[in-house]
Amino acid sequence: MPVRKRFGQHFLHDPAVIRRILDSIAPLREDRVVEIGPGRGALTWPLLQMLDALQVIEIDRDLAAGLRTDSRGGGKLQVHVQDALRMDFTALRGTGAPLRIVGNLPYNISTPLMFHLLEHRAAIADMHFMLQKEVVDRIVAEPGGKDYGRLGVMLAVHAQATRLFDVGRGSFKPAPKVTSSVLRLRPAIEPRFEGLKALGAEGDAALKRVVAAAFSQRRKTLRNSLLELLDSTEIEACGIDPQLRPEVLAPAQFVQLAARYLRSSRSAAAPCR
C-alpha cells in the first residue's frame, strides 16, 4: 500500500517505543479508547488486546479497509472512515464515560486538531499523542520565550500538559524530518482559572478572541494588537502594562483580559475582576 504524504503517514515500527506509549496510557479493559490515525495498526493491535473494545478514526480509505478486514479485530474494533478534524467527539462520547484519545498524529493537522479537541474537552478524560517535538515545546512553554503562544495559552487554561518522552526519527518508516515527543493532556473538569469559570461559555469565546488577537502579530504591543477589543485604560485596569508584548503574559492574565473584554462589551462601566 502506498505511503500517502498528504496524510502525514509515518508508521511506528519500534517495539520499545510502542511499549512505552502503551505503558503511559495504561488502559483498563473497560476504558473507552479512541485512536486517531491508526494507520497500519502499530498501536491499534496491542491496544485492542488490552481492551474490551476500541474505536479508531482513519481518513485513508485503503488503510481503514485493511483494519476492518484484519482478523485481529475479532469484532471488537470499530473503524470510522473520517477526517478526525470533523469528528464530533461529544456525540461519540454520548452518555457514556468520557473518552480516552490516543494517536501517533499526522503532523500536518496536529495544531488544528488540538484546538478541535479542546472544543470537545468535556467529553474527554485524557489524551496521549505523538507529536512533533517542536509542537510539544510550544504546548509546554512557559511565558517569556519564543515557543510560548496561542496553542500553549489555550491548552494551559483548559488542560494539564505533560511531556512524557522524546522519540527519534528512526522509530518511524518513512523517517520524518524531525524528532517527535509523546504528550499527555488532561482536560480540566472546571476551567483552571476562577475568572473564566464565572463567565461560562461566553467567557470561553472571549478568551479565544483575546488570545488570537494578541498573538496575531507577536511583535506588536497589547495596546496595538488588542485595539479593537480593549483600550489601554481597560488593559491597565487589569494591572497589565499595555506596552507589553503578548508572549510575556501568563495564562491567568489572558483570562483577566478576556473577563474585562466580556464585561466591557456588556457594560462600559464594569469593574475588572
Q: Which residues bind ligand SAM (CB under 6 A)?
A: 7-12, 36-40, 42-43, 57-60, 63, 83-85, 104, 106, 109
Question: How far apart are CB 47 and ligand SAM at their closest, in Å?
Answer: 10
Question: How far apart are CB 212 and ligand SAM at their closest, in Å?
Answer: 22
Quick one: 104 or 256, whose CB is closer to ligand SAM? Answer: 104
Question: How far apart are CB 175 and ligand SAM at their closest, in Å?
Answer: 12
CA-to-CA dists, residue 209 to 46, 54, 88, 251, 261, angstroms:
41, 36, 23, 14, 9
Which bin fits 124, alpha (ψ -120 to 50), beta or left (φ > 0)?
Answer: beta
Question: How far apart are CB 116 and ligand SAM at their closest, in Å?
Answer: 10
Q: How many helices, marked H, and strands, marked E, lie in the chain?
A: 11, 9
* Residue 269 neighbours by CB distance under 10 Å: 6
Quick one: 109 or 255, whose CB is closer to ligand SAM? Answer: 109
Quick one: 171 or 256, whose CB is closer to ligand SAM? Answer: 171
Quick one: 39 or 191, whose CB is closer to ligand SAM? Answer: 39
Question: How far apart are CB 103 and ligand SAM at their closest, in Å?
Answer: 6
Question: Cβ distance 187 to 159 under 8 Å?
Answer: yes
Quick one: 109 or 249, whose CB is closer to ligand SAM? Answer: 109
Question: How far apart are CB 36 and ligand SAM at their closest, in Å?
Answer: 6
Q: Nearest-CB residue to ligand SAM?
A: 37
Question: Cβ distance 141 to 148 under 8 Å?
Answer: yes
3-class SS at 263?
helix
Quick one: 143 or 176, whose CB is closer to ligand SAM? Answer: 176
Question: Cβ distance 90 to 120 under 8 Å?
Answer: yes
Grid coordinates belonging to 212 = 488570537
Return phi, psi of residue 211, to 5°: -65, -40
Question: How far apart are CB 237 and ligand SAM at their closest, in Å?
Answer: 43
Report the Cα 31 to chain-centroid distance in Å.
20
Residue/partner pairs of 208-213 with CB below 8 Å, 24 or more apart: 208/154, 209/258, 209/261, 210/254, 210/257, 210/258, 210/261, 211/150, 211/153, 211/154, 211/254, 211/258, 212/150
Quick one: 24 or 265, whose CB is closer to ligand SAM? Answer: 24
